[in-house]
Amino acid sequence: MLERIRAGRTDLVFEALAAGLPASTADDAGVSLIRWCAYYGDVSAIRPLLAHGESPADHGRGRSARERFQRGRPHGPSTP
């Protein structure tokens, strides 16, 4: 499910949390669910992550969004 979220299916965050996936889960490159949701602009998926204890405080400092997410996507983002 994490791969599908990473590919843009941020709507699956609701299902992942219901299945017991921790809100702080990150992919192999260390990109967290909240960061993927922010990248895709899905505020509705960010809210439940925050409600389940995730914190935005440590995400995104010191790098541009493009640089952070390119690290988590070996082939780069699918959008410019």
pLDDT in tens, 9-40: 999 999 999 999 999 999 988 899 999 999 99
- Residue 7 in any domain: the answer is yes
> Is the CB of residue 31 less than 8 Å from the CB of residue 65?
no
Which structural domain, as residue segments, surrounds residue 10?
Answer: 2-72
Q: How many CB atoms lie within 10 A of CB 28?
A: 10
Residue 45 lies in a domain: yes
User: Residues near 5 by Cβ (< 8 Å), separated by ≥ 6?
Assistant: 12, 13, 16, 33, 36
Residue 80 covered by a domain? no
The answer to whether residue 57 is domain-embedded is yes
Task: Report the domain count for the chain.
Answer: 1
The pTM is what?
A: 0.69
**68 in a structural domain:** yes
Does residue 27 lie in a domain region?
A: yes
Residue 77 inside a domain? The answer is: no
